[in-house]
Amino acid sequence: MADSTPTTATTPADPTAALPPEHADRPVYVVGGGPGGLAAAYALRARGVRAVVLEKSDRVGATWRGHYDRLHLHTTRRLSALPGLPIPRRFGRWVARDDVVRYLEKYAEHHELEIVTGVEVSRIERAPDGTGWLLRATGGRELTGGAVVVATGHNHTPRLPDWPGRAGYTGELLHARAYRDPAPYAGRDVLVVGVGNTGAEIAVDLVEGGARRVRLAVRTVPHLVRRSTAGWAAQYTGVLCRRLPVALVDRLARPLARLSVPDLSAHGLPRPETGLYSRVRQGAIPVQDVGLIDAVRTGRVEVVAAVEGFEGGEVVLADGARIDPDAVIAATGYTRGLTDLVGHLGVLDERGRPRVHGPRTAADAPGLYFTGFTNPISGMLRELAIDAERIARTVARRHAGTRTSLPSRTA
């Protein structure tokens, strides 16, 4: 399968042009052409509901295309497939970024999804007639749907902290979103800020790619887990623990961590005092080891204190130290980017996240669904697949007016 733009059933520039004036057959609009949006569109279509995917870029899977070259899924191939199409066995157990993109392209093509690219939705409002939703999009488009599934993604807008002195920093500073491969940093001194899965993997990538020195700035010590132990993937444990009491999982995780992960206290990474699952419930997913443990233990990655600010060409750390790396890569996460889109509807919490997700909707926003805005221990893609089916069942039951005659297709 070639790495190219998928062949999908597309619509005119204005997808509502073919609808009758009375909107008797309003589609369900799915905002976002990533895994969550594509899965939701397929699940809806499989239930006879017309779903139109609106994607702001020119191709599906735009976020995945922008990730760094080294990236592989930390979840297994079998538990990462979307509804209706398995991921090919030839992609291996831990699927590479490019193969994820190929899979998403094939998924859209195989299911003949209705996708409109180059259309960015800027605001979602209640429809003037009190039924359904009005979407304001690029080019002055106003699209009216019977329901809306927002699937714009967990990693939507890069977040770069407003560190004191950042504006006057004379060194090279970039967000991890702009990092692709270690080649530009060979022979250089690099500081990676943030020890989530992205920061940890970029630090290892830099070491293996020939960086002269790699330091990793850590504010909160993470829980480290092996991606796989004797063939047992960490994701399997995450699935088993998904519904267990938080305190129980915390207690079980401590002895397992002592058995599988060495004590790195002497290297700046002591064992966290907070329980593993307690941290997950707060939004902090464990860091799956893809080489960081050995890199820290052997001194190839040096752990330093958190970044407090910048002064001229120096980076000021929380312990008072000042360093002057050649480049700073900030693996400091993302914001959801939902405030302008739906913030006025009262459906977001104080951190800008949807108050409800999956098949549930806010009491005063019926027909407005969210998927992909949590970071579950059991695997993002697995939960997106489950959400898609649940949302589709709910939409098919509650929004019968969106049903239309669609050609049958065996998944």
Neighbours of 230 (CB within 10 A): 6
Q: Is 214 exposed, middle or buried (0-12, 13-18, 19+ CB in 10 A)?
A: buried
Positive or negative, the CA dihedral 391, 33, 115, 97 is negative
The predicted structure's pLDDT at residue 11: 43
Q: How far apart are CA 7 and CA 79, in angstroms?
A: 26
Return the domain boundaries, the chain.
9-156+336-402, 159-330
Distances (CA, A) of 235 to 227, 239, 396: 8, 6, 31
CATH fourth-level superfamily of 9-156+336-402: FAD/NAD(P)-binding domain (3.50.50.60)
> What per-residue confidence (pLDDT) applies to 400?
58
Please provide the average confidence, as pLDDT, over all residues in the chain: 90
pLDDT score for 409: 39
What pLDDT was estimated at residue 263? 96
Q: Identify the CA nearest to 43 among candidates 408, 409, 401, 391.
A: 391
pLDDT per position as a tens digit, 349-408? 998 999 999 999 999 999 999 999 988 889 999 999 999 999 999 999 986 544 544 443
| Residues of the chain below pLDDT 70 | 1-25, 399-411
pLDDT tens, position by position, 199-230: 999 999 999 999 999 999 999 999 999 999 98
Q: How far is CA 334 from the centre of its chain?
A: 9
User: Which two structure tokens, joined as six digits, stand for 343?
Assistant: 């913030």
Helices and strands in the chain: count of H runs, count of E runs: 10, 23
pLDDT for res 399: 65
Cα distance between residue 158 and residue 160, in whole Å: 6
**CATH domain 159-330 topology:** FAD/NAD(P)-binding domain (3.50.50)
| The Cα angle at residue 10 between residues 6 and 11, in degrees rounded to 5 | 160
Nearest CA among 381, 365, 382 for reference residue 149: 365
Do 9-156+336-402 and 159-330 show the same overall fold?
Answer: yes
